[in-house]
Structure 1
Amino acid sequence: MTDRAAPDDDSGATAPRRLSTRETAERLGVKPETVYAYVSRGQLSSTRAPGGRGSTFDAAEVDALARRTGRREPPPAPGELVFRTGVTLIENDRYYFRGVDATELAREYAYEEVAEWLWTGELRPGIRFTAPDEALTAARGAVDALPAHSSPTDRLRVAVIAAASADPFRFDLSRETVLAGARSLVPTLVGALPPAAGGAGKRSEEPEGREAGLARQLWSKLTARPADEPFVTALDGALALLIDHDLAASTLAARVAASAHAHPYAVVSAGLGVLEGPLHGAASGLAHRMLAEVLERGSAVPVVADHLRAGRRVPGLGHRLYRTEDPRAQALFALLARVPQAAGALAAAHDVIATTARHMPLPANVDLALAVLSVSSGMAAEAGETVFAVSRTAGWIAHALEEYGERPLRMRPSGQYRGPRPPQPLPAADGLSQRSAP
């Protein structure tokens, strides 16, 4: 937020800084309506802005009121966009869901239980999310109509749109309706995905279909291998660990959509659109391919060397929010250490870490841990992106619930225009004269 200084007067003294109503509300941490309530109670004075559009406020007086009212958050730095959130805190190389260590939650509880905690702050042991028949039928029909080569994210985006069309209550943004829709949307996305190549070829229904936990339902969509309990536990842990990670790019997009009061399905669509970028959700696929090559060649040394020679980063290493190993990777590695079939891929991942540490010590991030899961279980390279998207749907909904309670359309940055200054002549197509009146 930038203070707006009034122009100097004839005496050479600088006039007091004036803030707009929006800037005053942000500095006080309140809604614009509350600012005018302060004025009516005599706690703030206001001056009509030039041209009669809105009011302005003395910055020093606003700061004094902020101190009196005990507002704890410092004003954001100039140009910095800050969101008040109670969903996720990242601090001291750990991350927390509603103040509880997220890795401990993922170790102790299933994905659905952690999602419910994130949404409501209440723990509901044994909760299962169920897809409604109408939404599931619509989503499956839409997904099945896609070309065979469609990516998992393509299928998920189409499934979200189809599920939205089947929900007549999607425009009801009340908390309970949004939560009910979220509990049905996540399993609808999983149920709409076709079985993994080489699998049964037919979507299962019972007994390990819609009544099973979400991780077990998702397993058959990612690999043709039978559901092994330690592997499914690791997949469930990955889902729980990835639910949210503060304001990642896709979450910011989701909050912008929610700020416009887009319905929850549209919020999830916005998140999926950003997630598909190679620098976000697709990053685990790069780590998968690298890890598979390390296993094929028997050593990380030539693989790392090839990446560096080509000017590419070694995937699955480093994270700008953590100085040490990504806690999500740490937790998922621990779960995978209990899976005998994952031993080879896990050793390959540690080989990559040790090889790069000789010259640039970069700890593992969650993409490398997801690659261990996908490579060792016979999943496709895109499986990590699917796990990420399904899991993060719950996080986008949690942020949407927060944003629905904020002032609508509050995210309206100003563009810094760098084009030609007006007035410019009306353009005319080459070789053609401008239209003239008959």
Structure 2
Amino acid sequence: MTLSLRLPLNGSLETYQLAGTPIAAGNYNPATSRLAFAAAHVVSDPLADNSPGAPAAIDWDHTLGFRRHLWSLGLSVAEAMDTAQRGMGLDWPATQELIRRSAAEAPAGRIAVGVGTDQLPAGTHALDAVIAAYEEQLALAEEVGAQPILMASRALCAAANSPDDYRKVYDHLLSQSSRPVILHWLGSMFDPALDGYWGSDSLDTAADVVVDLINENVSKVDGIKVSLLDAAKEVALRKRLPEGVRLYTGDDFNYPELIRGDGERYSDALLGIFAAIAPAAAAALKALDDGELVKYEEIFAPTVPLARQIFSAPTYYYKTGIAFLAWLNGHQPGFGMVGGLQTGRSLPHLADTFRLADAAGVLTSPELATTRFKQLLAVGGIDA
């Protein structure tokens, strides 16, 4: 049976016929050639007030069910990251509960959690207050036995006057951590409040700061997640890392080439897009494990246009696309988000996302996805 619906295109409607073949479902073991984390979103409680500025109310059954889905595919979970709407609707009380619940269910070694400073109120804070906020969250990560990810901090970016201020904070935190951490470099396209992170507007100068920090704390750094959407900058930094320190790509535009590597070095993965394309990511990583590079490329290639669509400017609204696909694929009952962020993308944008998801084979049940998107279009006044 051919499925079709009418979708917005260039200010009018076109009849679109689904033609993609869903990636085969199944369970996977974790990849052996790469570490792969999917940064997971949260599902809002449809019966609660999740309007902008309201405390986040989470649908725990479906939020945790989505994580079980990722674990069943062999992926690890990067919990309470920006994909989970840190700083965009997910408050600290909800974050704490999310970390505790997710860590309690995670298979051994298959979860890392975001450690930040977002419990601080808006405004400028002294560096000691920033350190104290980080320490509170680091203590929670250690309490639940999860690997810490030292997230880029808006408060630190606002408080720091030089690279030395970043070094003061990070040197202290690394000395406090009982296990190696993942550092986190999030570009300003993901969060404009992080512009000039590491104390410089120059990415090359910032990279010098990061490399010095890592070299002087090698035993305390497992790796660094880099989300700059610039493959050349990532490769250049990767070449400078000391032996044993991983580069976790957060480049949702260029992940296939960065994970594959150049024959000498490669990037591991810590990606928001992996939550949206989880079956494809699992299948591609298995192909890489098996040395089937052509298959690896064939699986990942059609997901790249989808990823570039979901993470298109303004990039920080990519979370809407992640939740949209989770809803289409039946992982949550409604297309709602904490903070009302489901309004972050227009219906034409979501229509393009739908087309590209179909082409990438990541609409796991095309019938359900078509039915659900028709319902959303109808609410928007579109007879699909």
TM-score by length of 1: 0.21
